């Protein structure tokens, strides 16, 4: 499973409106960096970020661990709302 699919699966399991979730990978100027942008509805932002950002940090940790097993690249995840 690639990193974008894994991120999307994790985020969709957290939100109420799964249809509004959009996860895309964007190119970066740095060779060893992957940028993943997660877009969710405004109502679901709190669920994805969590108290003090703990849920968002947990998502980042899981994706980074998965990356280190396969591609060994640094992953940046941006979470935003529609």
CATH code: domain of residue 55: 3.30.300.20
- For residues 71 and 6, the model is more confident at 6
pLDDT at 47: 94
pLDDT at 12: 97
- Would you say residue 1 has pLDDT above 80? no
Number of structural domains (the chain) is: 1
pLDDT at 71: 80
Domain interval for residue 46: 3-81
Residue carrying the six token digits 């877009």: 39
DSSP line for the chain: --HHHHHHHHHHHH-S-GGG-EEEEE--SSTTEEEEEEEE-GGGHHHHH-GGGHHHHHHHHHHHHHHHHHT--EEEEEEEE-
User: pTM for the full model?
Assistant: 0.90
User: Residue range 29-37: average pLDDT?
Assistant: 93
User: Residue range 25-42: average pLDDT?
Assistant: 93
pLDDT at 82: 83
């Amino acid at each position: 499973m690639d990193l974008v699919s894994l991120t999307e699966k994790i985020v969709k399991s957290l939100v109420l409106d799964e249809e509004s979730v959009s996860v895309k990978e964007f190119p970066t100027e740095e060779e060893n960096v992957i940028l993943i942008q997660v877009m969710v509805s405004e109502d679901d932002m709190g669920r994805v970020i969590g108290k003090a950002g703990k849920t968002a940090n947990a998502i980042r940790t899981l994706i980074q661990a998965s990356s280190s097993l396969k591609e060994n690249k640094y992953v940046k995840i941006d979470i935003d709302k529609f």
